[in-house]
Structure 1
């Protein structure tokens, strides 16, 4: 096998089908002398004339006839199994996509993403997961997680691709019946009010806390919680204030008696992105999901 040129097989098949060297050359897009050279190499490799020139064209010998069927099968397998690109069809897929999201990421991304899947990929499903940075990096590499969407600054290895979706800011939440009427809190009000602080796994909240530390701003912390979902009920029922990513505040305002206030300081914005491993950059299903997220959320 090491000495046999597999590129000669399509030549033998073309001569058999066309019954002429010139016809095989046209079929293969080769010159007639090149086909003749290939045929001579094949004859020498197999120790058989393979095709005999007659009044009816190039007639195959028994050795050539034995060669045709497996050659046709080999070439067909190469075309359909190796060379053909795998097309992903969302309309018929039953794929379960696994996406790494924080709890606030779920509120921001999942409603619209699920709505799109119901429309374009009704057989598909979404599994949302949360895991530590090292586990997430390994899961993306192994294909256990398709995408990470949100704020994941630890995914900066060169094997990870990233695409910016939009910038995010922070907003303060107060009870809807709070006496504050202005749209922006003063620094005095911000420092005097009792604060509910979220210590969640999501990294975006860390940005705000680190900003306060750098600016040496000390609040009056009344409550610390690892959960976002209790915040709208705590805020609407009392006189606490919480500072959260804007999309979270806008989601809470839809079902709780709270209002959004601008913080009294200029807090740096942060980018939300989608991340994937380079191994799956050309994967049809992964590429389709990325394109949907860009269409839905990119600014």
Structure 2
């Protein structure tokens, strides 16, 4: 390692990401000959061509593919170490915090977070991302996502920390003038009624679907949709009912006079909402501040959603 010029590592990563010497130079702010010279040094040190020209451009060799993850992680750590002060000051920070959320998570977490950001970190920003769990895992590991908030059952193992915040349950929604709205819903009515079923990227709905399947309870999904947002408008004009996380239900009933809440006629599972972060950033001052804020705002004692 004493013979390897660590200044060459950014060239290795840029070449892998761009697959082109000129574009790698533009990304790094250096000339094409300088990138070519750096690649020659890397090839000499590792005894491998690292990148070869093909009909699709420059393709990495197996040796380069094995080196890239460690090189990229090293750059992330160096960048964070150099750009972040040991003591993070939210009052002066202009950082954009990136949080992985489902649409349910946005309703639960974002309003209160934005209120507190306005008071404690007025120059900082929030970015909400909704991604498949594999991309969330990569984002947390690479540092492009600071936290994952909500129900993420796949974020386990020794590389991730998690903290339980509070527990949510399910509730039924229907229009106020629905024929079944006047009396408690029975199981027979629940199963015979037409349902609007959400198949969203968020994992909480899986808890409901797996429970019903295990109990061998089958309802007719007249509508399947990937979106929660359209439910109030659909339910208000049909005789369909929907079963959703209760934060969604209470938010919609508060905003839409035509929608009412109905208790499910069977015992449904509950699910814990947690915050997740990668072990690499466990001691990062900026992430520590964000985690502390989330834990302060969202917990059993302050759960604003009616039980």
The answer to whether the superposition gives a TM-score over 0.5 is: yes
What residue is the counterpart of 2:101 in the other structure? 101
Equivalence for 1:89: 89
> Deviation of residue 134 (structure 1)?
1.6
Q: How far apart in 2 are the matches of 1:194 and 1:109?
A: 31
Matched-pair contact (CA < 8 Å) for 2:174–2:181 = no
- Distance in 2 (CA, whole Å) between partners of 1:259 and 1:297 is 26
Q: Displacement, 1:109?
A: 0.7
Match of 1:249 in 2: 249
Q: Distance in 1 between matches of 2:279 and 2:183?
A: 45
- What does 1:152-231 correspond to in 2, within 5 Å? 152-181=152-181, 184-231=184-231
Distance 2:97 2:192 in 1: 46
CA distance in 1, matches of 2:249, 2:277: 28
| Superposition pairs of residues 121-136 of structure 1, within 5 angstroms | 121-136=121-136
Q: Does the aligned pair in 1 maintain the 2:181–2:262 contact within 8 Å?
A: no
Give the 3-state SS of the residue equivalent to 2:265 in structure 1: coil
Contact 1:161 1:278 in 2 (8 A): yes
1:266-285 alignment to 2 at 5 Å?
266-285=267-286
CA deviation digits over 1:155-214, x for unaligned, max 9? 002110000000110000010122435664110110121100001110000110111110
Matches within 5 A, 1:19-34: none
Please tell me whether the aligned partners of residues 175 and 181 of structure 2 are also in contact (alpha carbons under 8 angstroms). no
| Helix, strand or coil at the partner of 1:253 | helix
TM-score (norm 2): 0.68
Instruction: Tell whether the 8 Å contact from 1:175 to 1:235 is kept in structure 2 after alignment.
Output: yes
Q: Distance in 2 between matches of 1:110 and 1:297?
A: 11
State how far apart, in whole Å, the 1-side matches of 2:266 and 2:166 are: 21
Q: Identify the residue that residue 293 of structure 1 maps to in structure 2.
A: 294
Q: How many residues align?
A: 218
The CA deviation string for residues 13-69 of structure 1, in whole angstroms up to 9 with x for no partner, is xxxxxxxxxxxxxxxxxxxxxxxxxxxxxxxxxxxxxxxxxxxxxxxxxxxxxxxxx
SS at match of 2:254: coil
Specify the alignment match of 2:145 in structure 1.
145
Structure 1 runs of 4+ aligned residues shifted over 3 Å read 179-184
Measured in 2, the distance between the counterparts of 1:287 and 1:176 equals 45
Q: 2: CA distance between counterparts of 1:182 and 1:273?
A: 36
Distance, in Å, in 1 between the alignment partners of 2:237 and 2:267 is: 28
Q: Which runs of 5+ in 1 are unaligned?
A: 1-80
Q: Is the 8 A contact 1:97 1:124 kept in 2?
A: yes
The structure having more radius of gyration, on CA atoms, is: 1
In the other structure, the counterpart of 1:264 is 265
Query: Matches of 1:212 and 1:263 in 2, distance apart?
Result: 12
Label 1:183 to 1:87 Cα distance change in 2 as closer, same or farther (>3 A): farther
RMSD between superposed Cα atoms in Å: 1.8
Instruction: Please tell me whether the aligned partners of residues 183 and 261 of structure 1 are also in contact (alpha carbons under 8 angstroms).
Output: no
Distance 1:183 1:208 in 2: 23
